């Protein structure tokens, strides 16, 4: 089999890239290790930046997103029980949209299925070859039979544990990393959200986040120490802990119920440099990880593949390699700003085991400054709603 672009991974990055290329008449085949149902069953991000919404519109999959997504003008921070709302629309004229990653994935998969583009699910033993030449290939096994896919380019959209970054020769890659001493325990519940907008709560017992997927489905998180076991967290224990970290009004308004999903995510910052190796490109979680606090993971994946699609379209349509040559530097500049923002949000909102009384006063001063200064609040708004590429 032959294609123009071999895409590894059918997460949001791979599916969106495939769709943007398809719209420009460029052929791409997606190889995915898991089944379609498995990919759709992963509960992950929930907040889309305005730029991500625009890209999904460009990809022709914005219909359900505009009909069902919840446009939020701002978010609330709750610091030791003091709540403050940041109104992004009023501050900078921008908003975010609450629409689950599962739904984005479903919309992209449906559009791909409808157009007849090739996606090979349950492709095992994917391996990348000769991407330092003009004729790269990707090999994989499907139902016990080995296949080879010849292509012009390979897009590594296979997440943090994927094969693409691991295929780069040692010494060609530099990585930067920070691991945080805690994780997020998240639950999904079919009950109305506690408030109209998201609440990011700092409390001495740890961070908590009240989010949502729809007017009848809520997503809540609490910070937990590393090594915590999911079996030790009954729904009742989760609700009690969440309530204690919120202000009185939110704690009283909280509608609890049986969880329909419960999982723990460790927090990490990670960036690989560069993101192009001959005819192989890295994008999304294959290239970087952010702690979820700033809601940037999915949005960064989208902006990476927006830039990669532009570069590949320039190559095929305008016969210019300027976009391909500039891809790595262009996206890394935005990636690092999102890394900074996610690290900063994590630093001010969580309780760190080694934070002393001085550190806690500094966290409080950050909140008081954000609350009092229009300039500081505007900087938060600019970053949260998404910086330009």
Retrieve residue 236's tokens: 């009742």
Sheet of strand 145-150: strand arrangement? 124-129, 137-142, 145-150
Stretch touching ligand DHB by CB under 6 A, among 106-114, 288-296, 330-338, 361-369? 288-296
Q: Which listed range, 124-132, 222-230, 243-251, 291-299, lies at the site for ligand DHB (CB under 6 A)?
A: 291-299
Residues tagged active-site: 72, 200, 292, 296, 384
Nearest distance, CB of residue 198 and ligand FAD, angstroms: 11
The DSSP call for residue 95 is -
Closest to ligand DHB by CB, 31 or 98: 98
When CB distances are held under 5 to 8 angstroms depending on the partner's kind, the choice from ligand DHB, ligand FAD, none that residue 178 binds is none
Nearest to 368 by CA among 360, 151, 308: 360
149 contributes a contact to ligand DHB by CB under 6 A: no
DSSP string of 375-387, one letter each residue: HHHHHHHHHHH--
Q: How far is the CB of 360 from ligand FAD (least distance, A)?
A: 25
Binding residues with ligand DHB: total (CB under 6 A):
9
Phi, psi (rounded to 5 degrees) for 302: -65, -45
Is residue 46 part of the contact set for ligand DHB (CB under 6 A)?
yes
Q: How many CB atoms lie within 10 A of CB 257?
A: 13
SS3 track for 277-292: ECCEEECHHHCEECCH
**Distance, CA of 203 to CA of 158 (rounded, Å):** 36
Please say which residue, 154 or 246, places its beta carbon nearer to ligand FAD: 154
The binding site for ligand FAD (CB under 6 A) comprises 8-14, 31-34, 39, 44-45, 101, 123, 126, 157-159, 161-163, 265, 284-285, 292, 295-298, 301
Residue 273's contacts (CB-CB under 8 Å, 6 or more residues apart) are: 173, 174, 175, 176, 328, 332
Whole-number Å distance between alpha carbons of 52 and 17: 13
Measured distance CA(340)–CA(337) in Å, rounded: 5
Which letter does DSSP use for residue 317 in this model? I
Q: Which is nearer to ligand FAD, 77 or 184 (CB)?
A: 184
Q: State in angstroms the smallest separation of the CB of 211 from ligand DHB.
A: 3
Kindly state the smallest distance separating residue 283's Cβ from ligand FAD, in Å.
Answer: 7
Return the residue of 292, 306, 323, 386 that touches ligand DHB, per CB under 6 A: 292
> Segment near ligand DHB (CB under 6 A), from 44-52, 127-135, 170-178, 280-288?
44-52
Does 74 bind ligand DHB (CB under 6 A)? Our answer is no
Q: Of the candidates 295, 307, 332, 380, which one interacts with ligand DHB according to CB under 6 A?
A: 295
- Which is closer to ligand FAD, CB of 248 or CB of 261? 261
Element (H, E) at 66: helix 63-68
Q: Does 206 bind ligand DHB (CB under 6 A)?
A: no
The four Cα atoms 302, 185, 385, 300 give a dihedral, to 10 degrees, of -20
- Dihedral-angle region of residue 15 (phi above 0 means left; psi in -120 to 50 means alpha; beta otherwise): alpha
Among 19, 219, 245, 330, binds ligand DHB (CB under 6 A): 219
Site residues for ligand DHB per CB under 6 A: 45-47, 198, 211, 219, 292-293, 295
């Amino acid at each position: 089999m032959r294609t123009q672009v071999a895409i590894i991974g059918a997460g949001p990055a791979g599916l969106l890239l495939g769709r943007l290329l398809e719209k420009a008449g460029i052929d791409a085949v997606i190889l995915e290790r898991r089944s379609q149902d498995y990919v759709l069953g992963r509960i992950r991000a929930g907040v889309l930046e305005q730029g991500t919404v625009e890209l999904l519109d460009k990809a022709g999959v914005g219909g359900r997103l505009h009909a069902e997504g919840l446009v939020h003008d701002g978010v609330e921070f709750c610091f030791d029980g003091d709540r403050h709302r940041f109104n992004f629309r009023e501050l900078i004229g921008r908003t975010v949209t609450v629409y689950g990653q599962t739904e984005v994935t479903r919309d992209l998969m449906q559009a791909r299925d409808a157009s007849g583009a090739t996606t090979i699910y349950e492709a095992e033993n994917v391996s990348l070859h000769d991407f330092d030449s003009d004729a790269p290939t990707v090999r994989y096994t499907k139902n016990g039979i080995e296949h080879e896919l010849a292509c012009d380019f390979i897009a590594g959209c296979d997440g943090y544990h994927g094969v693409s970054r691991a295929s780069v020769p040692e010494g060609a890659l530099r990585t930067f990393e920070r691991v945080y001493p805690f994780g997020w325990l998240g639950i999904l519940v079919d009950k109305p959200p506690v408030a109209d907008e998201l609440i990011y709560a700092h409390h001495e017992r740890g961070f908590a986040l009240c989010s949502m997927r729809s007017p009848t489905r809520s997503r809540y998180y609490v910070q937990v120490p590393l090594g915590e076991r999911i079996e030790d967290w009954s729904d009742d224990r989760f609700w009690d802990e969440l309530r204690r970290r919120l202000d009185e009004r939110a704690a009283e308004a909280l509608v609890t119920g049986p969880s329909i999903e419960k999982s723990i995510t460790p927090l990490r910052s990670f960036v690989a440099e560069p993101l192009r190796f001959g005819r192989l490109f890295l994008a999304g979680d294959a290239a970087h990880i952010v702690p979820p606090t700033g809601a940037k993971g999915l949005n960064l994946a989208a902006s990476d593949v927006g830039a990669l699609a532009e570069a590949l379209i320039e190559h095929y349509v305008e016969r210019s390699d300027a976009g391909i040559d500039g891809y790595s530097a262009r996206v890394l500049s935005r990636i690092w700003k999102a890394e900074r923002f996610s690290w900063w949000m994590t630093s001010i909102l969580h309780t760190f085991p080694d934070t002393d009384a001085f550190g806690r006063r500094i966290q409080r001063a950050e909140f008081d400054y954000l609350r009092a200064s229009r300039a500081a609040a505007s900087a938060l708004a600019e970053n949260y709603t998404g910086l330009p590429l």
